[in-house]
C-alpha cells in the first residue's frame, strides 16, 4: 500500500503543479485551450490535488490502520468518479487521443485502490 500511495503522490504532485503553474500548457497537451475562467478552475483543481498529495504523504508514512482506510476510501471515491467523468468526456470528443492516457491512468488507479479496499 505504501508503494501505491507513493506512486500516486508523485503523479498527483506533477499534475497539481502543472495545473497551478501552467493550465493552458497542461490542457493543450489534450487538444484543449482553456479561457481565463477555465484556467482559474483548473488552478483550483490543482490546489485540490495538492490536498491529495498531503493526504498521501501522511498516509504513506503512518502505521495507523484508520488513516490508511481513510486514504483508500477518499482516493477510491475520487478515482472512481473521475474515471466515469473522463470516459464520458473522452467519448464526447472533448480531448484528443492523449485523453485516453488519462482515462487509462484513472481506471488503473480505480482498480488499484479498489483492490486494497476489498483486501481489507
pLDDT tens for each residue of 14-25 = 999 999 999 999
All three cell numbers of 55:
493526504
Q: What is the H or E stretch that residue 21 is in?
A: helix 2-21
Give yes or no for a contact between 76 and 113, defined as CB atoms under 8 angstroms apart.
yes
User: According to the model, what pLDDT value does residue 53 have?
Assistant: 97
pLDDT tens for each residue of 80-92 = 999 999 999 999 9
Average pLDDT over residues 43-71: 95
Question: Distance between CA atoms of 5 and 23, rounded to whole angstroms?
Answer: 25
The domain limits of the chain are 2-119
Instruction: Give the contacts of 72 (CB within 8 A, at least 6 positions apart).
Output: 1, 113, 116, 117, 120
Amino acid at each position: 500500500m505504501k508503494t501505491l500511495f507513493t506512486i500516486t503522490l508523485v503523479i498527483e504532485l506533477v499534475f497539481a503543479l502543472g495545473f497551478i503553474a501552467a493550465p493552458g500548457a497542461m490542457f493543450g497537451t489534450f487538444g484543449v485551450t482553456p479561457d481565463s475562467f477555465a484556467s482559474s478552475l483548473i488552478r483550483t483543481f490543482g490546489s485540490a490535488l495538492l490536498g491529495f498529495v498531503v493526504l498521501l504523504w501522511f498516509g504513506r508514512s503512518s502505521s495507523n490502520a484508520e488513516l490508511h482506510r481513510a486514504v483508500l476510501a477518499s482516493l477510491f471515491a475520487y478515482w472512481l468518479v473521475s474515471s466515469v467523468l473522463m470516459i464520458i468526456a473522452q467519448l464526447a470528443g472533448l480531448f484528443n487521443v492523449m485523453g485516453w492516457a488519462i482515462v487509462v491512468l484513472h481506471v488503473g488507479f480505480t482498480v488499484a485502490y479498489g483492490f486494497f479496499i476489498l483486501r481489507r
